[in-house]
Structure 1
Amino acid sequence: MTVKPLSLHPDRLFPAETDTRNIARRLYAEVAGLPIISPHGHTDPEWWATDAPFGNAAELLLHPDHYVFRMLYSQGVSLEALGIRNPEADPRESWRLFAERYHLFRGTPSRMWLDWVFAESFGLDVLLGAETSDLYYDTITEKLATHAFRPRALFERYNIEVIATTENPLDDLRHHKAIRDSGWGGKVITAYRPDPVVDPEFEGFLDNLKTLSDLTGEDCFNWNGYLAAHRKRRAFFASMGATSTDHGHPTARTADLSSAEAEALFKRVTQPSPSAEDAELFRAQMLTEMAGMSAEDGLVMQIHPGSFRNHNPVIFERFGRDKGADIPMRTEYVEALRPLLSRYGNRSDMTIIVFTLDETVYARELAPLAGHYPALKLGPAWWFHDSPEGMRRFRENMTETAGFYNTVGFNDDTRAFLSIPARHDVARRIDCGFLARLVAEHRIEEWEAAELAVDLSYNLAKAAYKL
């Protein structure tokens, strides 16, 4: 087969209509070079703590990216062969399996992000495929051995102003401390993700509570001691730079139980094998408890509901969490959030950012809620919808009711480091195209669109996350 060229069209993702495309070009020119605010994600802080070189192409671009290996798995490629939790796998051969099947990603956001990384980061000008697998592997791996491709150098190269990673309360944050003590100027902060100690169905929940007790000196099998332990860990995370919390619950359900009811519920869920209803009610109550703590300590609260985690039991048992088997679910918000919003939604001095994987609730539920409650803001199109069409649908469904300023800009929510600048570039292009259409239809002036483009690309995220 003939090797195909790789090129990034300068007008990619812009509207096809000429006048609207020209407006989008002008708007994009104003935001393309803005610093990157990455307020929520799952990159590894050890990268910047040690600044050790990435080992090879597969280690950097294949192994952390569940968007990539879930597609390959769907086409019959085993995760072991791709090197996922398999140190015996040859990374070059894992890469070859990916390269031979790169056509599977046509039309997907992964293809767009990866082509950007290949062209912009590594200077490759031919398309990835079976014939170019070794060229890619060798070019990328050789460059990763140079100082210019060390984690800190790439952070600076892509003008990243701040990245927030995500750690759970049992993490000692040693890597964040190392970053702080190193004297390096890059800003990498943490976020408080308490799922392992607030979800009774999380594997090892009771053991996690024992560890939390040891870390804090509180009795985490006592309701008041348990809450005190959270306050201590939140304070520790804040001292290490955290400005936000994050909660990945199956549903958006919240509750507002009395102290006696909450204590009785806590006793039930700290026994072996609590009921599914008690586990769900406890998660619901803990969202409201966490909101109350945010009202006290000022940490921005993020709620990421609606994913059926680890849907494939075989993959979960063999490879653990976050291996591409999480599936979106229908999610209800109006009744689910009412207990929490009744307590805290009318406060203008705190921020609760809600995300969804259920696009059917955009215009019906989330936009009206955020368009009313001062505390509530809408997170951007997320996960399966972090895509060109997903971003357009988000703007089209949310803007008329919630406006732009009840949203929080863009965040990339990724484990794949080099996809961060690629994802932000996609978001900026899509937003500029959406704004250009409003200008072309004489719904806003171009100077307003220019201001909005900067806000959506930079200012809103920085303000919402107190960065």
Structure 2
Amino acid sequence: MSSYLHPDRLFSSDSSQRAIARTIYQAIKDLPIVSPHGHTDPSWFANNQNFSNAAELLIVPDHYVFRMLYSQGIGLSTLGVGQGTLNLEQSHQVWKVFADNYYLFRGTPSRMWLDYVFAEVFNISQPLSGATADTYFDTINQQLATDAFKPRALFERFNIETLATTEQPLDKLKHHKTIQQSDWQGRVITTFRPDNLTDPEHPKFRDSFKALASAVDMEISHFQDYLKAIKKRREYFVEHGATATDHSHPTAFTADLSSSQKESLFQKIRSFAFSPEDAELFRGQMMTEMAAMSIEDGLTMQLHHGCFRNHNAPVYHEFGADKGADLPVAIEFVKALQPLLSKYGNHPELNIILFTLDETTYSREIAPLAGHYPAVKAGPSWWFHDSPEGMIRFKEQIIETAGFYNTVGFNDDTRAFLSIPARHDVARRIDSRCLARLVAEHRMSEEEAVDVATDLTYHLVNKAYKFKP
């Protein structure tokens, strides 16, 4: 254990609660990692090639990291973003900029994750700074070049049982095919993300709409044709291991139109002569259609709504999406989901997980919905709130109404493969801390707390995403 990673980190400063948290944590810390939603690259596990160097692995692809540096006036190009493959000297320069400014991350969850990676994955015993930058860069690169640091070896070392990636609906899933056909036993599966077919205002909607007919080898002239084509793509994803879908619209609005209304709306969408109101109505109807399909094929629905994506237009136009400029917005669930839930929310075969970036909805909307509808579960604190403070706030507001068993454990939602064990360790420590307080207040026995912690860490996520019979 590194001298700068305290064994009691994130536990309460209250000595009695801290002792209980230690006991709970010891019971769950070595359980397998189940990562049901993320954005790691399946080609890593298909090709099993060594990662190139510290900067290209830990900085360039991770918006959690370069977002902070950009906010302090450091250009994305300086950090290697959008510059193509970097040579070793360029990567070294990126790393030095990062190390010189590592102090900016003090107190942030990114600092905790990175420190864990440095200490536990690379066994570096001194903190990162400008003075240690070169030592870090050389040490990490030397280890990355070994067989022990190939993606499959790290997957096994991290004790990952299941890892789900996310692909757009027309993806041919060639890397998942390679994994399935290999003799490697690691479980890496895909997730069906159909936003570019369900959202007419998605930047890739027009091209995706036109490509769908060719992908499924059928003519698409009417709304029912469109639904049939999407069903075919879902079947293809199920064949390649998918157990879930993922949806991220600007709002949670849903609709339940008549057959004639759906057809009329579809023809407007098909002609690309639609208004913003038409686009919102189509998104809402498609969410209801996705629920109907999930009842048929069993895929769990994840709703990641309430994000203003690509807020910084110049950055988006120069560097593309996912560059740290996606921001939370206020969102409403109760009225928005009522059409869908009135139709399907009581169905025993439907499983919907609600995520939000708007914490004000936790106790007012998400917890009451999850505490009533059999089909609804509360997704974990996500993205801007996957921090110790965010996780604590989530539990304080959700559990009193929905209980622990209308939640689904934790997911890391990361592109940074090496941070997966770090993020899950934080979640396990915070679960232990929160449960320890309930034990200390005599609201739960220690045995019950260990049971709940085990369920939060392992069983609830497997159940929600149907990873195990």
What is the CA-CA distance between 1:211 and the residue it aligns to? Answer: 1.2
Q: What residue is the counterpart of 2:239 in the other structure?
A: 239
Among 60, 74, 78, the residue aligned to 1:77? 74
2:213 alignment partner in structure 1 = 213
Alignment match, 1:290: 290
Let me know the Cα RMSD of the aligned residues. Answer: 1.1
- CA positional deviation for 1:349: 2.3
- What does residue range 134-283 of structure 1 map to in structure 2 within 5 Å? 134-272=134-272, 274-283=274-283
Give distance in 2, aligned partners of 1:283 and 1:305. 12
**Contact 1:169–1:212 (Cα < 8 Å) also in 2:** no
Corresponding position: 1:44 with 2:41: yes
Aligned to 2:62: 65
SS in structure 2 opposite 1:408? coil
For residue 65 of structure 1, report the CA deviation from its aligned partner. 1.0
Who is 1:369 aligned against? Answer: 369
CA gap of 1:317–1:281, structure 2 versus 1, over 3 A, is same
Residue 108 (structure 2) pairs with residue 111 (structure 1):
no
Name the structure 2 match of 1:306: 306
Which of the numbers 10, 13, 28 marks the counterpart of 1:31?
28
- Structure 1: distance between partners of 2:3 and 2:343: 54
Q: What is the correspondence of 1:374-453 to structure 2 with a 5 Å cutoff?
A: 374-453=374-453
Equivalence for 2:11: 14
- The structural deviation recorded for 1:273 is 5.2
SS of 2:353's equivalent in the other structure is strand
1:212 Cα offset (Å): 1.2
The answer on whether the counterparts of 1:363 and 1:401 sit within 8 Å (CA) in structure 2 is yes
Report the Cα distance in structure 1 between the residues aligned to 2:218 and 2:342, rounded to whole angstroms. Answer: 30
Once residues 303 and 447 of structure 2 are traced to their aligned partners in structure 1, the CA distance between those partners, rounded to angstroms, is: 34
Residue 53 of structure 1 aligns with an amino acid whose one-letter code is: N
Give 1:221 shift.
4.8
Shift of 1:96: 1.0
Code of the aligned partner of 1:116: Y
What CA distance in whole angstroms lies between the structure 2 residues aligned with 1:231 and 1:160? 30
Alpha-carbon distance in structure 1 between the residues aligned to 2:399 and 2:204: 42
CA deviation profile, 1:405-439 (whole Å, cap 9, x unmatched): 00000011110001110000000000010000000
Distance 1:212 1:80 in 2: 35
- Structure 1 position 218, deviation (Å): 2.5
Distance 1:352 1:179 in 2: 28
Deviation at 1:348, TM superposition (A): 2.2
- In the aligned structure 1, how far is the partner of 2:324 from the partner of 2:221? 34
Q: For structure 2, which runs of at least 5 residues remain unmatched after alignment? A: none
Alpha-carbon distance in structure 2 between the residues aligned to 1:359 and 1:100? 34
Aligned mates of 1:415, 1:159 — CA distance in 2: 18
Alpha-carbon separation, structure 2, partners of 1:204 and 1:466: 30
AA aligned opposite 2:296: E
Report how far residue 371 of structure 1 moved.
0.3
What letter matches 2:464 in structure 1?
Answer: A
1:449 alignment partner AA: A
CA distance in structure 2 between the partners assigned to 1:438 and 1:109 by the alignment: 24
Q: Secondary structure at the match of 2:283?
A: helix
Whichever residue aligns with residue 300 of structure 1, its letter is: T
Moved more, 221-230 or 90-99: 221-230
Q: How far has the Cα of 1:362 moved from its partner?
A: 0.4
* SS of 2:5 mapped into structure 1: coil
Q: What CA deviation, in whole Å up to 9, does each residue of 1:125-171 have, x standing for no partner?
A: 11111111111111111110000000000000010000000001110
Q: Deviation at 1:6? A: 6.0
- TM-score in terms of structure 2 length: 0.97
Structure 1 window deviating more from structure 2 (192-201 vs 385-394): it is 192-201
Distance 1:38 1:218 in 2: 35
Give the partner amino acid of 1:436: A
CA–CA distance in structure 1, aligned partners of residues 426 and 23 of structure 2: 16
SS state at 2:335 partner: coil
Whole-angstrom CA distance in 2 between matches of 1:378 and 1:272 = 35
Counterpart AA for 1:27: I
Q: Distance in 2 between matches of 1:442 and 1:28?
A: 19
Give the Å deviation of 1:269: 1.9
Identity of aligned residues (%): 61
- Aligned mates of 2:302, 2:209 — CA distance in 1: 22
8 Å CA contact retained: 1:210, 1:220? no
Question: Structure 2: how far apart are the matches of 1:459 and 1:112?
Answer: 26
**In the aligned structure 1, how far is the partner of 2:318 from the partner of 2:32?**
40
Aligned residue pairs, count: 463
456-465 or 79-88, which moves further after superposition? 79-88
Helix, strand or coil: the match of 1:161? strand
Give the Cα separation in 2 of the matches to 1:367 and 1:60.
Answer: 37
Q: Deviations over 1:329-376 (max 9, x none)?
A: 001000001011001111122211110110001001110110000000
1:356 equivalent to 2:360? Answer no
